[in-house]
A and B are shown apart, each in its own frame.
Chain A
Amino acid sequence: MPKVFEKEKSKGKHLLLHSFCLRPSLRFETQTDDEEVVLVLRSHPITQINWIFTSIIIFLLPLFFNVFLTEFLLGKQIFFINFFWYTFLFSFIFLNILNYLFNVGIVTNKRIIDVDFHQILYKEVTASSINKIEDVTAKTAGFFAGFFNYGNLFVQTAAKEQNIEFLNIPHPMEAVSIINKLMKSFPRNGH
Chain B
Amino acid sequence: MDINQFLNNLNLVNFLSLGIKILAVGISIFYLLFSIVILKQVGVMKKTIEFNDYGLLSFFSFIQLSLGIFLLFYSLFVL
Instruction: State the A residues within 8 Å of B (CB).
Output: 24-29, 73-74, 76-77, 80, 83-84, 87-88, 90-91, 94-95, 98, 101-102, 104, 115, 117, 120-121, 123, 125
Contacts and interface: CB of A to CB of B under 8 A. Distances in A.
Contact of A123 (B48, B64, B78): B48
Main secondary structure of the interface of B (DSSP, over half): helix
A28 B45 CA distance: 10
Contacts, number: 78
Contact of A87 (B17, B31, B38): B31
A90 B67 contact: yes
A26 B51 contact: yes
B45 A117 contact: yes
B51 A84 contact: no
A94 B41 CA distance: 13
Given A76-B78, A84-B27, A102-B45, A120 B50 contact: no
Contacts of B68: 87
A123 B20 CA distance: 37
B34 A73 contact: no
B38 A80 contact: no
A83 B67 CA distance: 9
Identify the interface centre among B17, B38, B51: most chain A CB within 10 Å of its CB: B51
